[in-house]
Amino acid sequence: MWVSPHKDGWEVKSAGSEHAAAVFEKQAEAVHKAIELAQHKKAELIVQKENGTIAWRNSYGNDPYPPRG
């Protein structure tokens, strides 16, 4: 899942998808929805800054390098 800048705010998009799953006015709203989707799909979430660089990322499953505990 990706949260990226969009001409109308912020878009939530699956990796490899051409079209946004949703567009939000505020980045926080987009991140909230993207976290829900990433947890459901057990996917990685990547959040971009306004300039397109990666702000942060998190894996919600299928992590190839889980921490030892």
Q: Which residues contact 62 (CB under 8 A, 6 or more apart)?
A: 42, 43
Is 66 inside any structural domain?
Answer: no
Residues of the chain with pLDDT below 70 are 62-69
Residue 52, in any domain of the structure: yes
Instruction: Please check whether residue 67 lies inside any domain of the structure.
Output: no
**Residues in contact with 65: Cβ distance below 8 Å, sequence separation at least 6, in sequence order:** none
pTM of the model: 0.85
Residue 64 lies in a domain: no
pLDDT, tens only, 30-46 = 999 999 999 999 999 99
Overall domain count for the chain: 1
> By residue range, what is the domain housing residue 51?
2-59
